[in-house]
Structure 1
Amino acid sequence: MIFKLRRQPQAHKNIGNLQGNWIFCTLPGVMSAKTFDFGSRIDEILRVGEDLGLSSSEVHYVFTAVLADEGKEGELQLSQVPVCVKGAESSKVRIMGKISSALKTIMKVLTCVVIVGVVSCSVISFHNPTKKFVTRNIQDLIYPVMTTLRQFTLPVLKKYPHLSLWYSEECLVPNILFNHGNIDCSTCPENVDFIEISTLQNFTSSYYNTGKYLVVTDAVHKIVSRTVFLENVDIRQEIKTGTWKQVSKYSPLSNTLKEYIGKQLTGDIHIEWKINKLETLHLIRQVFPRPYFIPQETEVALHRYVFIDGPDSEPYPLPLPEFANTVIIQGEGESVFFMLPSRQCKGDCNPTSITLKATQVLFYNWMYWRPERIKSGYSSTFAMSSFY
């Protein structure tokens, strides 16, 4: 298709004012022209060309073709310039331009909000009269604001229930640069063989908040089968909220109780169940009682972990519970834990392995030890808790 641009003879040093979509072709033929100053309108023409999706070389060619032959009167044919943009492509270009403009506006608004927030917080924090004024006047607004925010977030939580876990998390983003300071690693046992003790009486003076570990054989008096507590658990809901995690490379996974109750676990199945709901916590406390040697005056963490493993489950590190003093209660089966020294105690504490049999309880402090469960050839169920 050939497009024609006319120039008036008296405007031989100007180009036509191609108003509107100056190279958007809705009608072939001749476009009328008006004289204007080239320098004052060049930016506008370039912007229009950019909005229509033309490259800089194409726009440059248009200028060159129009101004090349000043002595030639009549019509200038631009038969080889792809300056006609289809309607759909032109519409797409305009939409992208609007989106880009909207994003720039949003970024400007967010930048202003951040700056105002930082300045306001700085003034409130460092200017005592302002701090007192704000504190005094926002007390009555806290409850209605939080109630309104709760009402807005309920639909989101219903659609994404796993987000509710953030509420009960003690740490959302761990500080990888945190240093525990000076830890006295000399309390690690010189003999790597673990000690089995019954009727433990000197726990506070000999083991509490130290690098010593031990196995207590009389803290639990009967085997705790997974059937006891899984009968009252909605596994589908636990999976939906993200507290129940199943891992297996070769065994089929299930979200029903029939695969875990009354049957011997096989293969490499590994289940990690993090308990943070009060009703479930009450159930676990009944089947995994508090070991008698934990001091009565200390605080026990609300969070619990339950691990269920098949005989061929892959090795995995144990998580860090809320408090450093940690107990593992072997409910059924048998587990082997490889005790690795923490980063601060690698030079003073020697790694060792501990075999924990049913009804036995392992105590250690994760400031000194970072255990991993390794393959034992037995299926296993054990609970993990911590205290201050």
Structure 2
Amino acid sequence: MTEEILHDYANDIQRLRKECIDAGIREDEFRRMYLDSLRNLENSSQRKYKLWLKILCIVFALSCVIAVTTHYRYIYSCIICNVQEYIYPGLRLWRQISLPFLSLFPGLTGLHQETCLLQNPYFTVVDMDCWPCSNVQNVREIQNPNHSHRQHISPLIYLTKQTELSWIQLSELYVRNRKVFDVESPKVLVNNKYYLTPEDVFSNNHDSNTNHNLYIWKINTLNAARILRQYIPRPKIVPKFGQSSERFIIIDTDGNQFQVPDTECNFSFLLVLSGKRTVTLAPADECKHQCRSLEIKLPESYLLWYNWWYWRPTVQQTLHNETFIAHVGSYC
């Protein structure tokens, strides 16, 4: 059938060509008119195809909008359930990829922005699963911790090889690296009320025995973290890759109760550099009906490992005048 149609079409073209030549039209003009007619036919077909393609795209977009609008809750639940467990592995992979670039260009860490400038005190998680803390009755002490790959969900403590870092040694550390700290970590929070510069805190006229304050020094850049790691090595429980560059140095010379600041990653640790305190692990508000508060004494060089998603540590008030210095970090 197709061959017959093509044969008839060829005969019609030959007949039309002969009639044009008989009418005085040259053969090259006939060929030009014939090719122009084919081009017009092709353009007309393309316009029809594009029109149908636009119609199909509009119909598909409207269908997607209607489907998302009518099944919003179901789609949202599916996305949250399937994506949630990949957030931290994805961030950890991104961190490993970016570390070589930050090592070559450490100044890029100065472009880091805070994820939340003001925390919402009324934020709660609906239907939070509290099983990681529901069966925990005490804080266990271990002797030889392994690297954490999310298996250490319940809180624990262990004795590290961290040497004492006193107020005087911390002041000397700042003086030796004044240029880096003044540029990259220029603020120290005092008593959760106002800020001072590190120079004001560690100057010679300030003595931990005469100044009763709570200092929280946040360090969140790669250069400052690298200097700090020379004096406070990475804890054994934290893997080589994954430790956040965000650190806190807490200096308590007042002895009053205070809450340990929340960290960037949910797996956090509190390492005692000098002194000793009693720490209370209070369950999160969402888990108070299932989990109980825990209390642990932290001597010097001990590390407390916890997940702040379920536990909120608070350092308790003490009667003695011993200065307490601690390092707070986290792992994603």
User: TM bucket by the smaller chain?
Assistant: 0.5 to 0.7
Q: Is the 8 A contact 1:336 1:355 kept in 2?
A: yes
Name the CA distance, whole Å, in 2 between partners of 1:270 and 1:241. 17
Structure 1 contact 238–244 (Cα < 8 Å) conserved: no
Deviation at 1:336, TM superposition (A): 1.9
In structure 2, C-alpha distance between the alignment counterparts of 1:241 and 1:331, rounded to whole Å: 20
Q: CA RMSD of the aligned region, Å?
A: 3.6
* Structure 1 position 273 matched with structure 2 position 217: yes
Q: Report the CA distance between 1:195 and its aligned residue.
A: 1.6
Query: Are 2:164 and 1:223 equivalent residues in the alignment?
Result: yes
Give the CA deviation at 1:167. 4.8
Larger proportion of helix: 2
SS of equivalent to 2:328: strand
Q: Answer yes or no: is 1:352 the counterpart of 2:294.
A: yes
Unaligned runs of 5+ in 2: 1-60, 62-108
Contact 2:147 2:238 in 1 (8 A): no
Counterpart of 1:272, as a letter, is I
Identity among equivalent positions (%) equals 22
Shift of the alpha carbon at 1:368? 0.3
Matched, 1:306 2:252: no
Partner residue of 2:204 out of 252, 258, 275: 258
- Output the CA distance in 2 between the equivalents of 1:352 and 1:345: 13
Cα distance in 1 for partners of 2:136, 2:184 equals 45
Are residue 322 (structure 1) and residue 264 (structure 2) matched? yes
Change (3 A) 1:242 1:202: closer
1:199 pairs with 2:144: yes
Structure 1: distance between partners of 2:290 and 2:210: 39
User: What is residue 133 of structure 2 aligned with on the other side?
Assistant: 188
Q: CA deviation at 1:357?
A: 1.1
CA shift at 1:255, angstroms?
A: 4.3
Q: 1:284 to 1:194 in 2, by over 3 A?
A: same
- TM-aligned CA deviation for residue 172 of structure 1: 2.8
Question: Alpha carbons of 1:200 and 1:371: their partners in 2 closer, same or farther (altered >3 Å)?
Answer: same
Counterpart for residue 234 of structure 2? 290
| Structure 1 residues 233-292: Cα deviation after superposition (integer angstroms, max 9, x where no partner) | 549x7599762122399xxx95452145xx553453111101123332211111111111
Residues 189 and 345 (structure 1), Cα distance of their counterparts in 2 relative to 1, 3 Å cut: closer
Give 4+ residue runs of structure 1 displaced > 6 Å after superposition: none
CA shift at 1:223, angstroms? 1.6
* Match 2:114 to one of 169, 183, 191: 169
TM-score (ref. length: structure 1): 0.48
Counterpart of 1:341, as a letter, is: P
Pick the aligned partner of 1:338 from 280, 300, 307: 280
Deviations 1:67-108 (A, max 9, x none): xxxxxxxxxxxxxxxxxxxxxxxxxxxxxxxxxxxxxxxxxx
Distance 1:178 1:166 in 2: 28
Distance 1:291 1:241, change over 3 A: closer
CA shift digits 1:43-62 (9 cap, x unpaired): xxxxxxxxxxxxxxxxxxxx
List per-residue Cα deviations over 1:293-326 (Å, max 9, x = no partner): 2233x5221111000111x332121221100000
Deviates more, 1:164-173 or 1:338-347: 164-173
Distance 2:150 2:225 in 1: 30
Deviation of 1:215 (Å): 0.6
Asked if structure 1 preserves the Cα contact closer than 8 Å seen for 2:155 and 2:307, the reply is yes
Q: Whose RCO is larger (CA < 8 A, sep 6+)?
A: 2
Give TM-score, length-normalised by structure 2.
Answer: 0.56
Q: Is the 8 Å Cα contact of residues 185 and 368 (structure 1) preserved in structure 2?
A: yes
Alignment of 1:10-49 (within 5 A): none
Tell me, yes or no, if the aligned pair for 2:147 and 2:236 is still in contact at 8 Å: no
What's the CA shift string for 1:119-151, capped at 9, x where partnerless?
xxxxxxx9xxxxxxxxxxxxxxxxxxxxxxxxx
2:249 counterpart SS class: strand
Q: Quickly say closer, same or farther: Cα 1:241–1:206, change in 2 above 3 A.
A: closer
Following superposition, the deviation at residue 191 of structure 1 comes to 5.5
After superposing the two structures, state which structure 1 stretch, 369-378 or 359-368, moved more: 369-378
| 1:327-350 alpha-carbon deviations (Å, 9 max, x no partner) | 111111112212111011111111
Q: For 1:272 and 1:238, locate their aligned partners in 2 and report how far apart those are by CA, in whole Å.
A: 15
The AA in structure 2 aligned to 1:268 is: H
What corresponds to 1:381 in structure 2?
325
Q: Provide the secondary structure at the position in 1 that maps to 2:275.
A: strand
Query: In structure 1, how many angstroms separate the alpha carbons of the residues matched to 2:314 and 2:220?
Result: 23
Task: State the number of aligned residues.
Answer: 217
When residues 205 and 373 of structure 1 are mapped into structure 2, their CA distance, relative to the original with a 3 A threshold, is closer
Secondary structure of 2:290's counterpart equals: coil
Aligned residue identity for 2:227: L
Distance (whole Å) between structure 2 residues aligned to residue 362 and residue 255 of structure 1 = 26
Distance 1:222 1:333, change over 3 A: same
Tell me the SS of whatever aligns to 1:326. strand
